[in-house]
Structure formats: C-alpha cells, structure tokens
Structure 1
Amino acid sequence: MGYQGRDVEVVALNDAQYLVAACDSCGAIGEKELDAVKVPWWVTGRMTARVALLEVLAVGAVPQMISIAIANEPLPAGEEIMKGVREELKAMNLLSLPTAVSTEKNMPTKQTGLGITVIGLCDQDKLRVGRAKPGHSLFCLGLPKVGTEAADPEDPDILQGIHLVQLLSIPGVYDIIPVGSQGIRGEAEALAQAVGARFREDTQCELYINKSAGPSTCLIFTAAEDIELGDFGKLPIHKIGRLEEDGGGGLPTENED
C-alpha cells in the first residue's frame, strides 16, 4: 500500500490497524579505511536511526521495535554505532523500544555498512498516506544537506524528531514525507503522482530542490497556504510549490506558467 519508491510500506493488519515498516541503509560513511565520508561511528548510527524513525512517525504510526544490522565487527564499530542509535532513541523518548542487533563476526571489513529497520503500528483513522489534494500547498521544513554537511545531528538547520512530532500535532497538515536522496523535487513529484495531481514549483522558492537531503535533513508536507505553523525555532521553513489538478499532460516542466 505504501508509496512506490519510498522506504516505507503500509500493510493492513485488520479493520482497525496498519503495520508500518521503514528502513534505511548507510554505506561508506564512518571511520573505516575505505569509507568515502569520514565521520564518527556514533554519527552514522544516530543519523541512520533517525531516517527510519522519521519515516514511520511521518505516516502517523507509533514505533514498536527497531532492528540494527551492522556489517562490521562488534568492537569498536558496532559499539560506537549503537551509541548513536541509543542517543537518537533517547532524543525521541523511545529508549525502551525493543531492539534486535546483528554484527559481522566472521569477516574483517574495510568499509562501514549499516541497515536499520523500524516497525510501527498505526490506527486506521490516523494514517497519513494520500491525504494531499490538488489545491494544497507544499512546504519544506529544514534544509537539504548531504555528506559532511550532515555530520552534526544537532545542526539547527536540519530536521529532528521533535520537529516532526510538533508538525503532527498541527491541524490542517496532511501528508508528511521525509526527504532523502531523491531530493525535494523528487519527493514532491512522487507525492503529486500518488494522489493524481501535478507539482508546480514556487518560482520564488530559494531552495535548490534537486539536491539530495542525505539522512532526511528536511521533510516536505502539504497544507493550506494560509496555515499557521507555530514556532519551529531556527529551523527554516519554505513554501516550495503547490499541487494542481493533473490535466493528463504529465509532470510540469520546471517553472512552468
């Protein structure tokens, strides 16, 4: 049932609940010899956990368990990665979440490899999938950053779990989608297509919406243009465009009138 091309899937358990699964992978980012981006392993663990947790929370689900597959030795890589995972769980008040962990104990490795899956439950009436409609505006919360730009989990310009929880509480916010490697444009166009609409970019938007957002350093959401969002502190908010009726001509070109 989930959006094609997204790292989240939604399956009906019964007439009242959905099972939600989200995953994220991270390769060559850490402290290993052949890692392309050098960051402390705890950053690798924290940011990868954040992505999977955000995906589950964004559709209105409550995380029930987390699985961490570490393609490296238990010490020191595994231990340091898990420190970051636990830090992110603590920041989201999910430190008691049941956790399954596996590490590589047979082969030596020269590159960091990590996969994290989060499983959640969602009541049928709380599911935030496909609520967007033509006429809704699209906004971006946070800035797209990737690689070493995203090496600080506390960067005031990037999305954190507390921001998503705050957004979920605002009436009039519909679909919420964390942005990753497809970039803002890719996610906006995928959302538009999923609800039978077209994405029209706001020509006044200052963001480079084709850029990868790495470990979900920002999200997009749909709402009425005049929505009151409240205070998100220093976290940037931009209007990126709107959804329009799809007249059958496919996706609009950039800055189409």
Structure 2
Amino acid sequence: MRDIVTIPFSEGDSLIIACDNSGAIGMKEQDHVHISYDTVAYYAFRVSVMECIAAGGEPVSVLLHNFCGNEPWDQLVSGIEKGLSELKFSDVRITGSTESNFQLLQSAIGLMVLGKKSSAKITDLAFTKHLKIAVIGLPLVGNEVIELNDQVAPLAIFHEVSLIKGAMLWPVGSKGILYELNQMFPNEMITQERVVTTVDIIKSAGPSTCFIVCFQPDQEEIIRKITGELLYTIEIRK
C-alpha cells in the first residue's frame, strides 16, 4: 500500500494527497540536527512529491504547516521552490500557515502535496519472475543526507524515470527497502534471505534518498542510461 490517499472527484480523475513531516531538524538550539530551513523544507517536499508522482499524481499545490516561527517562512518556501525547480514544475501553488502564538523549543514542519491523477493511469505491477527490480540511490539518514549528497537520487532523475510507460516507482522511507518491497508485493512474503543486492535493505532511507523501480527487461537500457551509477540491482530469489 502506498503512503497516499486517493479521492475520486470525477469520472476520470482522482485527487492524490501525500504528506511528510520533520521534527527537531532546523536551526533552533535544541534541534538534534542543525541545518538550514530551506534544506528542511526541501527534503520534506521531496518525500511528499515523490509519493505523489509515484502514485500517478501530477502535483498542483503544496501546503506548508510551519511550527518554526515567523522568521523561517521565506526560507522554508525557498526550499520547496528549489524542489519544484528541479522538477521543472512552474505552476504549482504554495500556501500554508505558521504557528505564531507560541514558540516551540524545537523546529517542526508538516507538508502536503496535492496532485491530480487520471484514473486510466496504471502505477502498480504484478510480481513475476521476469520483472526487473532496482534501487536508485542509497538509503541515507541524518547527517549522511548532507555529507553523502552525491548518493541521493535527484528529483530530476526520479521524475524522468516516472515518465517511462509501465515502470513502477516506489520511494523508500524510514522502514527501509525490504519493508517497501513487501508493500509493493504483499503476496510474496519477501524475507531478507531472498533478496540479493549490494545495498543495505534494512536501513532507513530518511527523506526518501532512494527509490525502487520495477520494469520490464526491454526497459533496462533506458533506465540505466537515466540513472547511471546510482542504479543498484535487486534480485528476489524463490
């Protein structure tokens, strides 16, 4: 099951709602990870927009819930705009609200991406022995996201892969690759022993620093061309 809500609103279209949050990450003294607020918002947006796109949604709006205070608002919006720019989305509106009555001791934000999906668009595949599976990028968390940024799957690459007809994309979250594989194929009962790959399949991927892509054998060449050295193959044994 994907981490989104799908609400049909017409005969041919549905509303896709994806969200993420961030706590104790920012520029307050008691934050556990100290990074700029534009970076905080960028990665929260990244998670939400990847979930939306992977579910077949075309983003139309971003909603920001800011508990960091009034001052960081512009920086937070700047981080969202950076993500939109990487995706080349110029007509996505940003709105939101700030908690200004009380000051929290730690930074916190919530972020939602709303998207529109055509009901005709198919985003899931059945598991077969011929299906190719790969993870793009590495699972990273905390300061690793900044220090090993060249191993984070870029939004632009994620979007380009999402345009390949028939490919199935699945962002990896804090529960790791193995958990997501079982969400993708719940009837397979995939165990750690069945998975052959060079990537840590248990480790948290933080703000979706990597994603899983499933595709047909004849699509492998184009996917390797797009993803380059960020592609790591996954084999699921019987």
Work out whether the TM-score is over 0.5.
yes
* 1:68, distance to aligned residue in structure 2 (A): 0.4
Letter in 2 for 1:218: C
Specify which of 241, 249, 256 is matched with residue 235 of structure 2. 241
Q: How many pairs does the alignment contain?
A: 234
Letter in 1 for 2:3: D
Aligned pairs for 1:55-74 (under 5 A) are 55-74=51-70
* 1:221, distance to aligned residue in structure 2 (A): 1.8
CA contact (8 A) 1:39 1:151 kept: no
Q: Does 1:22 align with 2:18?
A: yes
**How many Å separate the matches in 1 of 2:145 and 2:9?**
36
CA contact (8 A) 1:144 1:211 kept: yes
* 1:170, distance to aligned residue in structure 2 (A): 2.5
Specify which of 69, 78, 82 is matched with residue 83 of structure 1. 78
Deviation by residue 1:187-234 (Cα, 9 ceiling, x = unmatched): 0111110xx334366654111110000001000121235632242355
CA contact (8 A) 2:87 2:159 kept: no
Q: 1:145 to 1:115 in 2, by over 3 A?
A: same
Secondary structure at the counterpart of residue 126 of structure 1: coil
TM-score, normalised with respect to structure 1: 0.83
Secondary structure at the counterpart of residue 113 of structure 2: strand
Secondary structure at the counterpart of residue 199 of structure 1: coil
Q: Does 1:209 align with 2:201?
A: yes
Q: 1:204 to 1:241 in 2, by over 3 A?
A: closer
* 1:239, distance to aligned residue in structure 2 (A): 1.6
Deviation by residue 1:54-104 (Cα, 9 ceiling, x = unmatched): 1111122101111000112111x2222222112112221224311212111
- Residue 192 of structure 1: aligned partner: 185
Deviation by residue 1:94-125 (Cα, 9 ceiling, x = unmatched): 24311212111111122110111011111112
Identity %: 26
Gaps of 5+ in 1: 243-255
Letter in 2 for 1:93: K
**How many Å separate the matches in 1 of 2:19 and 2:99?**
19
Q: Which has the higher helix share?
A: 2
